[in-house]
Amino acid sequence: MKIFLQADKIKRFLKQIGMRKSYFFMAMCLSLLAAFFEGVTAAVLIQFVKGIISRDFSFVKELPVFNMIFSEHSYTSNAQNTTFFLMLLGTIFISMVFKNILSYLSELAISYQAGKVADGLRRMVFQRYLSFGKMFFDHTYIGRLNNILMHYIGMIIIKLKTANSIFTQVFMLAVYIIIMFVISWKVTIFVLFFFPILNKMLNLLIYRIRKTSESYITSYDMLSHNISNILSCISLVRLYSNEDGEKKHFAYLSSQLRKLEFSLDKKSGLIKPLQEIILLLAILFLVFVMSFMSIKEKSVEIASFMVYFFLLRRAQSNFGVFNNIKVSIAETKGLMNEVMDVFEDKDKFFIPDGGETFDQLEHSIEFNHLSFSYEKGRQILKDINFCIEKGKMTAIVGPTGSGKTTIISLLLRFYDAPPKSILINGKDIRDFSVKSLMTHFGYVSQDTLLFNDTIRENITYGLKRIIREEEIISILKKARLYDFVLSLPKGLDTRIGDRGIKLSGGEKQRVSIARALLKKCEVLILDEATSSLDSKTKKLIQEAIDEAVKTRTSIVIAHRLSTIKHADKIVVIENGKLIEEGTLSELLDKKNKFYTYWEEQKFS
């Protein structure tokens, strides 16, 4: 019963991703035709063996189709026998050729459609990934998502391709059973009696295959996670001379995966031997029965029984087709659950998209009693209230972990803010579409976000307009990156490695700043934008930033307070609460928290 429920779940899932039964209709038709020609081969083979045993093929002209061919011709006895012999032999050969051609075409049809499904499914899964909220990625191992997209879908599609053999097996089995019933319905009923026996013996094995498949997925994810962790932190491994420890841990995880792989192979491999042993017992018993019967029967029945054994042997592998279906479902259960989970909405932290288009910042961005928690029981922001005026520079300062970056993440819609807690032009930020909002925001983060691509692709990423070379050069100069790019052999087309590993910290930050400036955004957000720079570079970048913020609304998160001297407003956050705000001179005159921070950094 559980197998059918699982099959029904998979069926609904396949419908959800857009796969239709019609995709496999052609393959089924071709398999059906192949089975028909297999039946023709078997039927003609009976007559062929009958003629060989009796040494007389004259009965052929009485058979359907053949009687029309020979009704208008007369042959001598020897010529007739030879002609009939060759005709039967030719019919068997042609039928087998057609059967194999149609089986091949059926396999091609299913392979083509399976490829389309794989391509469509990969696109849909990737599209789903892009729709999830940032909090989903905060809680999810990225390597697992990559495994689902590339490895698990591929394995499922391989199983899907076996549907072609299942179609063929079912149709062939139907043809074999029909002919076997015609030859001897009593013996065939006895053969079919072994179905429930075989099914009962295999059910327990299939259940264990399903459980092992789920354990295999867990073990595979653990190994993949370990590989990603170690390779991304290889410097840390070297620093602590822990190569041997990591080798042992990897060897253990790899060994566990190997054991599960072998367990799956071992259990799946038992299916065919069990089927063959049971069917062999049936065949041996049938040989005994038919040997006894053939003593009293004519040669015609002996010929039929000979073909019966031939058909039974051909059908032997097909008798387990229904168990094979269950085995395939069991083997893919873990994989399918992982893929289907992507299409479940639970714990995906979607950011609701508003229906209104954001055109421009008219007067202000207001944080209105903003409170926020990533997890229940751990509040990050507590009743934050302040305003960012258009065309002015607002600085947000405070100790590490105070909630500064969280405020920016909510403004950028990385996370969903409570209703009416962030207002833009007096309207709830949730009323605007995310895409239209992001068109007007530029962001330079403390942790530079760079692709393993060229400098050109990194600074022009996501821009839909045509960008002239002169404009890029102008931006490079503003970001104080121009001389550095000129010194590179390939200039803008230099690849910078994974996460910009080939660049220094200051160079990464300048690429990120150039990207934000090239976007020509209305609101520029700088999150510790000068934190990775040396004194000389910092001075140059500060000049570029000062130039950029003159014509923009800017929000600056700063750890070094000397970088926000020209801010129109400074907001001080501590432990998720706003404790004071004002201009630099006002806050210094108050001699409160900001004054303490300022004095601490004065001689640092």
- How many helices and strands (H and E) does the chain possess? 22, 10
For 565, what's the count of Cα atoms within 13 Å in the CB-facing half-sphere? 6
Identify whether the C-beta of residue 564 lies closer than 8 Å to the C-beta of residue 399: no
Q: Residue 444 and residue 556: Cα distance in Å, rounded?
A: 10
> In terms of domains, do 183 and 331 share one?
yes
> In terms of domains, do 534 and 490 share one?
no
> In terms of domains, do 468 and 328 share one?
no
Identify whether the C-beta of residue 584 lies closer than 8 Å to the C-beta of residue 597: no
User: Is 601 within a domain?
Assistant: yes
What CATH number is attached to the domain comprising 136?
A: 1.20.1560.10
> Measuring CA to CA, which residue among 539, 570, 572, 541 is closest to residue 555?
570
User: Is 424 within a domain?
Assistant: yes
Q: Residue 587 and residue 570: Cα distance in Å, rounded?
A: 8
Identify whether the C-beta of residue 383 lies closer than 8 Å to the C-beta of residue 577: yes
Q: Which of 519, 540, 573 is a domain's end point?
A: 519
User: Is 348 within a domain?
Assistant: no
> In terms of domains, do 425 and 288 share one?
no
> In terms of domains, do 302 and 252 share one?
yes
pLDDT score, position 489:
87
What long-range pairs does 377-384 form, CB within 8 A, spacing at least 24? 379/576, 380/406, 380/576, 381/406, 381/407, 381/410, 381/576, 382/575, 382/576, 382/577, 383/577, 384/573, 384/576, 384/577, 384/578
User: Is 576 within a domain?
Assistant: yes
What CATH number is attached to the domain comprising 481?
A: 3.40.50.300
User: Is 195 within a domain?
Assistant: yes
User: Is 347 within a domain?
Assistant: no
Q: Which tokens sit at 341?
A: 């989970």
> In terms of domains, do 128 and 180 share one?
yes
> In terms of domains, do 88 and 23 share one?
yes
Q: Residue 405 and residue 490: Cα distance in Å, rounded?
A: 36
> In terms of domains, do 475 and 562 share one?
no
For 48, what's the count of Cα atoms within 13 Å in the CB-facing half-sphere? 16
pLDDT score, position 575:
92
What parts of the chain have a pLDDT lower than 50?
1, 3, 76, 298-300
Q: How many CB atoms lie within 10 A of CB 24?
A: 21
> In terms of domains, do 364 and 256 share one?
no
Q: Residue 186 and residue 258: Cα distance in Å, rounded?
A: 48
User: Is 213 within a domain?
Assistant: yes
Domain count, the chain: 3
pLDDT score, position 300:
43
pLDDT score, position 290:
65
At 526, which helix (H) or strand (E)?
strand 523-527
Identify whether the C-beta of residue 12 lies closer than 8 Å to the C-beta of residue 151: no
Question: Which domain, by its residues, includes 453?
Answer: 449-519
Q: What are the percentages of helix, strand and coil residues in the chain, rounded to 5? A: 65, 10, 25
Residue 297 to residues 186, 293, 303, 503, Cα–Cα distance (Å): 16, 6, 10, 90
> In terms of domains, do 455 and 600 share one?
no
pLDDT score, position 76:
47
> Measuring CA to CA, which residue among 299, 291, 307, 306 is closest to residue 54?
299
Conformation bin of residue 119: beta by default, left when phi > 0, alpha when psi is -120 to 50: alpha
Identify whether the C-beta of residue 563 lies closer than 8 Å to the C-beta of residue 389: no
pLDDT score, position 73:
52
pLDDT score, position 13:
64
> In terms of domains, do 317 and 455 share one?
no
> In terms of domains, do 194 and 124 share one?
yes
Q: What does the buried/exposed string (b/e) look like for 436-460 if buried means 16 or more CB atoms within 10 Å of the residue's CB?
A: ebbbbbbbbbbebebeeebbbebbb
Q: What does the buried/exposed string (b/e) look like for 193-225 if buried means 16 or more CB atoms within 10 Å of the residue's CB?
A: ebeeebeeebeebbeebbebbbbbbebbbebbb
Q: Which of 315, 342, 369 is a domain's end point?
A: 342
Residue appearing with tokens 């495994």: 147
> Measuring CA to CA, which residue among 162, 171, 160 is closest to residue 30?
171
Report helix, strand or coil for 444. Answer: strand
pLDDT score, position 140:
84
Interior angle at CA 594, CA 588 and CA 597, nearest 5? 110
Q: Which of 519, 540, 574 is a domain's end point?
A: 519
Q: How many CB atoms lie within 10 A of CB 381?
A: 24
pLDDT score, position 299:
44
